Amino acid sequence: MGDPAGIGGEIIFKALKRIGERTIPVIVGGRALLESQALRLGMKFPRFTDFLEGRSGDVEILDAGLLKEAEFGRVDGLYGETSYRYILEALKLVFHGEASAVVTCPISKTAIRCAGIDFPGHTELLAHYGGVQSYVMMMQAPGIRVSLVTIHIPLKDVPAAITRHSVLETIVLTHAALMEYFRVPRPFLKVCGLNPHAGEEGLLGSEDAEEIAAAIGAARSTGIHVEGPFAADSLFHTRDCDGYIAMYHDQGLIPVKTLDFRRTVNITLGLPFVRTSVGHGTGFDIAGTGQADETSLIEAYRVAEKMILNSAGRRDAA
């Protein structure tokens, strides 16, 4: 349910009306906390069954306890610790084979840090406990998918992180995920340049020609259909490929969220399990007001279902 001071509980209550037709949702959080939030929001508390006791059409809850109440909109290390513990409980479920995917509501990076937990965000935390060094954040909205070479690092550190290896790794993981999870038989990828005009043949920077182009060439030599680097300012308007590779956080997220903010979904590629998330933050400014929009959570849940079913279908076919 994410940070207990955010909009996680509210969007869960609202989303439950439109998810769970094919799978059983399991809410990982605190029952008393959720009951308290439902009361304060003036919402009917859903009927939950206990974990592993539900049937099709039910909603289960794994009661992690920890908190009975939280102050909406407050950044607090205790809340950061609580959201972190919720994540660990969810990971136990997938590692023990008791759940098929993890769908996350937003956490507060500041609250996590206040709790002494040294992860920049969900993605890095899940990669750590998933035991993987190679992972990619992909943002998806209807009609567009964008994978990021760098994620939660300062902009000044991005150029040094754009290497042949990091770009190639992002291309390969994205290509594999499009085939396995989204049933794209031969994905076509387009790659953004780092610098304006993709470096203007070296006049505006060397990374595009020396690192990005080299990675694209290496990927093409393995049979991956990929082109670039292209000037990022004009690349996204045609949407004539299966996925884009962006060099840094805002370069990739701005086009996706501008196109359809409400239905943006965050997907982590490279993990040993399926993980999706909402495409927005904790909403501390509106937490507790009843104004939160559940659309992104619904999309994240449905994308996770689709990924699970497509992956299972490929394994069965093999």
- State the pLDDT at residue 72: 97
**The CATH number of the domain covering residues in 133-270:** 3.40.718.10
pLDDT bucket at 316, cuts 50 / 70 / 90: low
Chain centre distance of CA 174? 14
CB atoms within 10 A of CB 128: 13
Q: Answer yes or no: is pLDDT of 254 > 60.
A: yes
State both tokens at 9: 């509980």
- State the pLDDT at residue 318: 52
> How is the chain split into domains, by residue range?
1-132+272-318, 133-270
Rounded to whole angstroms, how far apart are CA atoms 181 and 29?
28
Rounded to whole angstroms, how far apart are CA atoms 14 and 85?
23
Residue 247 DSSP label? S
- E strand segments, 58-100: 60-63
pTM: 0.94
Mean pLDDT, residues 87-102: 96
CB atoms within 10 A of CB 275: 27
Rounded to whole angstroms, how far apart are CA atoms 235 and 252?
11
Reported as a single tens digit per residue, the pLDDT across 225-244 is: 999 999 999 999 988 999 99
Share of the chain above pLDDT 90, in %: 86
Q: Are 1-132+272-318 and 133-270 in the same CATH fold?
A: yes
The answer to whether the CB of 111 falls within 8 A of the CB of 3 is: yes
pLDDT bucket at 39, cuts 50 / 70 / 90: very high
Torsion over CA of 1, 265, 15 and 123, rounded to 10 degrees? -10
The type of residue at 43 is M
pLDDT bucket at 56, cuts 50 / 70 / 90: confident
Reported as a single tens digit per residue, the pLDDT across 114-169 is: 999 998 888 899 999 999 999 999 999 999 999 999 998 999 999 999 999 999 99
- E strand segments, the chain: 26-29, 49-50, 60-63, 101-104, 136-141, 144-148, 188-192, 225-230, 243-246, 265-269, 274-278
The answer to whether the CB of 246 falls within 8 A of the CB of 147 is: yes
Domain 1-132+272-318 fold is Isopropylmalate Dehydrogenase (3.40.718)
Rounded to whole angstroms, how far apart are CA atoms 206 and 202?
5
pLDDT bucket at 43, cuts 50 / 70 / 90: very high
State both tokens at 74: 């407050």
